[in-house]
Amino acid sequence: MDHAFSNRLLCVSLFQGFSRLDFLDLVEKVPLDFRTLKADKHIVKQGEECHALCILLKGEVTAEASSPDHTYRYREQLTAPWVVQPECLFGLHNRYTHTFRALTETQTVWLTKAIVLDLLTHYPAFQINFYNTLSTFAQNTKQQLWQIRRTTEEERFRAFLQRRSLRPAGKKTLHIRMEDLAVELGVTRLRVSQMLARLASQGKLTTSRGVIEIPALETL
């Protein structure tokens, strides 16, 4: 195995707590599928069935999701290391909810379900990290359902974006018509237009026809 790949793998949250001996044992026994993708290549697509765990080791990617009625699309930029939707690997709904595309040359490693089950059985550190990842995802999802109803347009818009974000920070792009955003926020189109104008004047976003660009969600 390339040492650069293995060193990057140790930086992934799922492998935190591994001793050097554990990692050498893993590399010797587990067939790891390393891949390098050029910029603009798809990694996974929304709606595809998840057959393996994909881990980004190097590079930048975009993650984009379309609403069920296809009235809007939401895209964000992510940087490796990143585990691609581990919650989709098992369970009743094991299809990706986002399309991941390489923004730069990207290095990945793929672990089949059988390999993941083997790691969960034989490596306690991996087991704890994997369960913590799934538990955190479930807890965050449930917490969002019980948030206090937002009163201002800015608060509703921020909550709308945060609920759809894989990472609550960084660059985000929303493709949506003004009238559809008004329906989502429960306000009039005029109030949406005024809200976006206020945020744009503060330098927190830019707008063009049907597109809203947020350079840093954490500052919105």
Residue pLDDT, tens place only, 199-211: 999 999 999 999 9
pLDDT at 157: 96
CATH code 3.30.70.3270 for 3-60+79-144: no
For residue 106, what are the contacts with CB-CB under 8 A and spacing of at least 6?
36, 37, 39, 41, 43, 56, 58, 59, 60, 61, 80
- Longest pairwise C-alpha distance within the chain: 62
Q: Domain limits of the chain?
A: 3-60+79-144, 153-219
pLDDT at 21: 82
Q: Would 3-60+79-144 and 153-219 be classified into the same CATH topology?
A: no
pLDDT at 4: 67
pLDDT at 27: 82
pLDDT at 23: 81
Residues of the chain with confidence (pLDDT) below 70: 1-6
What's the rounded Cα separation, in Å, for the pair 131 and 120? Answer: 9
CATH architecture of 153-219: Orthogonal Bundle (1.10)
Answer yes or no: pTM beyond 0.75.
yes
pLDDT at 9: 83
pLDDT at 14: 94
pLDDT at 3: 62
57-85: buried (b, 16+ CB within 10 Å) or exposed (e) per residue?
bbbbbbbbbbeeeeebbbbbebebbbbbb
Phi and psi angles of residue 25, each rounded to the nearest 5 degrees, phi first: -65, -40
